[in-house]
Chain A
Amino acid sequence: MANIHYRPFEGCTTGFYGVLAVLAGVLLAALGAAWYMEHNGHWVTGMTNQVIWGTPHVFAVFLIVAASGALNVASISSVFGRALYKPLSRLSGLLAVALLAGGLMVLVLDLGRPDRLIVAMTYYNFKSIFAWNIFLYVGFFAVVIVYLWVMMERRMNIYSKSAGTFAFIWRLILTTGTGSIFGFLVARDAYNSALLAPMFIVFSFAYGLAIYLLVLMAAMKGASRDLGDVVFTRLRRLLGVFIAGSFYFVLVYHLTNLYITQRHGIEAFVLLDGGIYTKMFWIGQMLLGSLIPMVICFHSGLGKSRSLVALACLLVVIGGLAQMYVTIIGGQAFPMQLLPDKTLVSSGFFDGVVAGYRPSLPEILLGVGGVAIALLLTAVAVRALPFLPESLSDTVADPHHKTT
């Protein structure tokens, strides 16, 4: 590995400021939407007493999961000693922090009482995985910021392996915590499974890397810096492996549920007759989010096209949002049973029927706002500090590389 040089994103290009302006505009709209929902109460959203967590949670959980996954690139370098990933590490840590900030912003602004955030920070019930997650999320910021400092301050470089290992373990625990938000819910058929924690970890690998690759391609192109085929191909194939891993976990999750008679109802709902949720699963999560990007990433011909791989990354993001929609909203829409061998046929409270849910504009705006702030933070940071390598050309990435 040649000596790596990093430089802030330069040039007052109108493109860069244009992107900043658009992101700031989306963020403002999101804050306005949050104010509107908080001011009027949640009845103005699509959320109800049946579908309790809506579109904001789809975005928030996706971003939090993606945040831990975005750190993987740095972990591969620091923890597993792969030199090729070293110049990619700083951006990886930055994205992890930015995506988590985006997810948390959405989560907090959707609370019924966002003004009571201080209560959430001062009163704890340690049996709650949510309470643990507050520590895991806040700790993740601290751990990754220290890790970034160790990577960026030459004198501290010797500690990058230990800081990286600590951050890697932290992120695994963090995603375990996020998956367990659902895994620990005994009441609902779609959740209540230990599989959700490792499954969320594998999802995070794919989501995080897809976003990482998209941002890396955009940033290197915007800065007119080289992104050679060696790095590009390695990341593309790795993304393919992560998508395949996610696919495997989804397969095992559904096969397990299909084996458990008690869960045939929820499986039929998701796989066959759940309307929007079935479509989201097959078209969104499986076809767009798994199969097509997997083919692009593994196919030596298609995979050469930068735009097709960018499309694959985008599809992984869309598929990830669809997956969260099916899990979070579909899981709540499916009715719960009260007594064995008896079906709830009616009630004054929507029992026994699939709960309706339509995402409202303010919810979508708030969710997209989370993505906007993550990208905004990233853009400002790469401009202010040397996060991006001067070059990722093949000779920089691999001095022994021979062009054929």
Chain B
Amino acid sequence: MTINRRGFLGISGAAIAVSAVAPGLRLIELAEGRAPDQAVTPKQRWGLLIDAAKCADGCTACIDACHEENGVTGNNRPATDPQWIRKVTVEDNTTGFRQSFPVMCQHCEHPPCVDVCPTGASFKRADGIVLVDKHTCIGCRYCMMACPYKARSFIHEVTTGQKTHAPRGKGTVESCTLCVHKVDRGDNTTACAVACKKEGHEAILFGDLNDPGSEIRKRLKQKPSTQLRPDLKLNTGVRYQGV
């Protein structure tokens, strides 16, 4: 096979173009890895996978760890004390089968709390984490009316022992932040997931739902999973298996 001059130039040109552009593309990819001072992008969708079958009855390691990590303290008043994460027990209506699992903010793709918030204090980050802006929350509690998961708490009294990464103020609303400070630090996990693993249960897995190579996506691909209140079609960031 002979290559004429025109063909040779074409192939050479293409080769040069590829070798010139490829490192650039790689650079773009690298640049998308986020530095701490850069804005989050929708490239990631952080979420949790909770395997109810592995969740031990009576274990509260995730709750304790969450509240410790985020400085969430109560005053022995269960009705008004805050809860970022709780354990619930459900019973199958037909079979009577019971199981427990933790429930926290589900970090919905279409969060009702964000829809109803009059000031925009309830917001969803580009990477799917739903948060409350403590500066613009006026304490109207409409988000708590709207949340199907009872995931939010109103701060009913003066707070003590706050953590710098999780500011809390009387008269505003709060909920699970998906340990956003840890996510932004690159820890790639949450306090509840760490605690659950430490207890040997591994019922909570944190990860990027958008990354096909992530552990969370692989596990979701292997076995059926569900969302809480699937009828509402909120596309939650927290998924459940074994329920």
Contact = CB atoms under 8 A, between A and B. Distances in A.
Interface of A: 38, 40-43, 48-50, 52-53, 111-113, 116-117, 119-120, 123-125, 127-131, 133-134, 181, 184-188, 332, 336-352, 356
A339 B138 contact: no
Nearest to A184: B116
Interface size class of B (residues with CB under 8 A): 35 or more
Contacts of B75: 43
A49 B116 CA distance: 18
Contact of B112 (A38, A125, A181, A187): A187
B187 interface: no
A185 B145 contact: yes
The main secondary structure of chain B at its interface with chain A is loop
Contacts of B149: 338
A120 B140 CA distance: 10
A120 B119 contact: yes
A38 B172 CA distance: 12
B29 interface: no
A124 B146 CA distance: 18
B38 to A, nearest CB: 25
Given A338-B88, A338-B103, A345-B98, A186 B232 contact: yes
A272 to B, nearest CB: 20
A49 B82 contact: yes
12 contacts: A42-B80, A43-B157, A113-B139, A125-B120, A185-B116, A188-B145, A338-B148, A340-B231, A342-B243, A344-B88, A345-B89, A350-B79
Contacts of A337: 229
A131 B89 CA distance: 37
B87 interface: yes
B88 to A, nearest CB: 4
Contact of A336 (B121, B150, B157): B150
B173 interface: yes
Contact of A345 (B91, B135, B142): B91
Contacts of B226: 339
B223 interface: no
Contact of A112 (B60, B91, B140, B232): B140
Given A124-B120, A125-B117, A188-B145, A348 B63 contact: yes
A294 to B, nearest CB: 32
A133 B119 CA distance: 12
B90 A342 contact: yes
B173 to A, nearest CB: 7
A56 to B, nearest CB: 11
Interface string B46-84: 000000000000001001000000000001011111110
B154 interface: yes
